[in-house]
Amino acid sequence: MAVRQIVRYPDPRLRQKAEAVGAIDDEIHALARDLADTMAAAPGIGITGPHVGVLKRLVAIKLEHNHPLLVYVDPVVVWSSPEVAKHAEGSVSMPGVTDEIERPARVRVRYRGLDGAEREEEAEGLLAVCLQHEIDQLDGIFWIDRLSRLKRERVIKKFEKLQRAR
Task: Render each residue's pLDDT in the chain as its tens digit; 166 residues.
Answer: 699 999 999 999 999 999 999 999 999 999 999 999 999 999 999 999 999 999 999 999 999 989 999 999 999 999 999 999 999 999 999 999 999 999 999 999 999 999 999 999 999 999 999 999 999 999 999 999 999 999 999 999 999 999 999 8
Measure the CA–CA gap between 151 and 20, rounded to whole angstroms.
32
Q: Pick the catalytic residue from 118, 134, 153, 160.
A: 134
CATH of domain 12-165: 3.90.45.10
Measure the CA–CA gap between 41 and 64, rounded to whole angstroms.
14
Handedness of CA 64, 102, 81, 145 (dihedral sign): negative
27 is catalytic: no
21: which DSSP letter? Answer: -
Handedness of CA 41, 17, 60, 123 (dihedral sign): positive
Helix (H) or strand (E) holding 122: strand 118-124
| Domain-wise residue ranges, the chain | 12-165
